[in-house]
Chain A
């Protein structure tokens, strides 16, 4: 049986192909880049294995978008928002301590006298965590406030997802 001799089936098949093609066009338009990008991206680790109940070091790596800077953990002015890492209570994992990198000194072109303490590019926070036995998907938080040379973005808190396996 040649189905192409059957007008109904042939029409339906052709319409289905057209529908699929139309959907394909829609999908490609959807992949356009977003106008806004996150100033800070968490890089790694996605998973860590630690000894349960003991303080364990974890190095957390982040990247700041090109052209932007964020305040260090110890900004030079008290009105600036410091970069802070935290782990919410009840996650089975506690943040025992966090050591932040020393900020790089920079000045804005419009004010060469004021030195700001900032992070640019990639930076690492040395965290020490204590976990109860088990597998914990921790939704840690990084709060920061980013600027470029002339303008600032509002403060933001991003989630830092870490799978903590404590044995």
Chain B
């Protein structure tokens, strides 16, 4: 009779330990899964998506910043002077993220210049934001000098009339990650993002969004 109780207790104890081990493992696995899911969610946060445009069915970029205030920033221009987005309050602004190595960015620049000159008198301005994406460290003075020289060369060659700032990478997260360039955000006079574009579109599409920002 005694050995029966010992055997039974051993069996029960083994079963309890086994079950507790399974619980512990399941708990750890669930925690790991939730952590990875949270990381994925965080990585995807703020990224736009392509949705069919009303009527046409053509995919259209929808930024999570749409109808929200444009994230504030103050970046250095080519002379080292800080240029703040806030200083453009009261104007419609096109924030154009681009990079020197980006051929489609270069292709749209003449359109931007033409449209900027066309609508400047109505209170429109473009802010070019150089976004090289090459993880330059703040201490890498030679790297920044090279970057600024490349941007300066482009600005001179293209006769870019609007302000150009560098280190767009430092604000890219606020603007949805900017995995693809060019990327443009159209901000109205109150500082609200009314439209966004990613990739090379067309001059007429850019002009349509400028008119939205100007509330025309």
Contact = CB atoms under 8 A, between A and B. Distances in A.
Nearest to B26: A19
A16 B23 contact: yes
A12 B199 contact: no
B155 to A, nearest CB: 13
B133 A27 contact: no
Interface stretch (A94-102, A132-140, A147-155): A147-155
A108 B107 contact: yes
A92 B111 CA distance: 52
Nearest to B154: A79
Contacts of B40: 34
Contacts of A152: 99, 101-105, 180-181
A80 B100 CA distance: 8
Given A16-B23, A150-B199, A23 B30 contact: yes
Contacts of A1: 8, 11
A100 B47 CA distance: 36
A154 B179 contact: yes
Interface in B184-216: 198-201
Contacts of B73: none
Contacts of A29: 33, 37
Interface string B30-41: 100110110010
B37 A30 contact: yes
Contacts of A155: 101, 132-134
B182 interface: yes
Interface string A100-142: 0000000010110010100000000000000000000000000
B124 to A, nearest CB: 23
Nearest to B102: A152
Contacts of A145: 101
Contacts of A16: 19, 22-23, 26
B5 to A, nearest CB: 11
A60 interface: no
A71 B73 CA distance: 32
Contact of A111 (B11, B27, B107, B179): B107
A145 to B, nearest CB: 6
Nearest to A76: B103
A147 B104 CA distance: 9
A1 B8 CA distance: 9
A112 B201 CA distance: 16
Given A26-B33, A145-B101, A154-B99, A110 B22 contact: no
Interface of B: 8, 11-12, 15-16, 19, 22-23, 26-27, 29-30, 33-34, 36-37, 40, 44, 47, 99-107, 132-134, 150, 154, 179-182, 198-201
Interface of A: 1, 3, 6, 9, 12-13, 15-16, 19-20, 22-23, 26-27, 29-30, 34-36, 77, 79-81, 108, 110-111, 114, 116, 145, 147, 149-155
| Nearest 5 A/B pairs, CB to CB | A154-B133, A151-B199, A19-B26, A150-B199, A26-B33
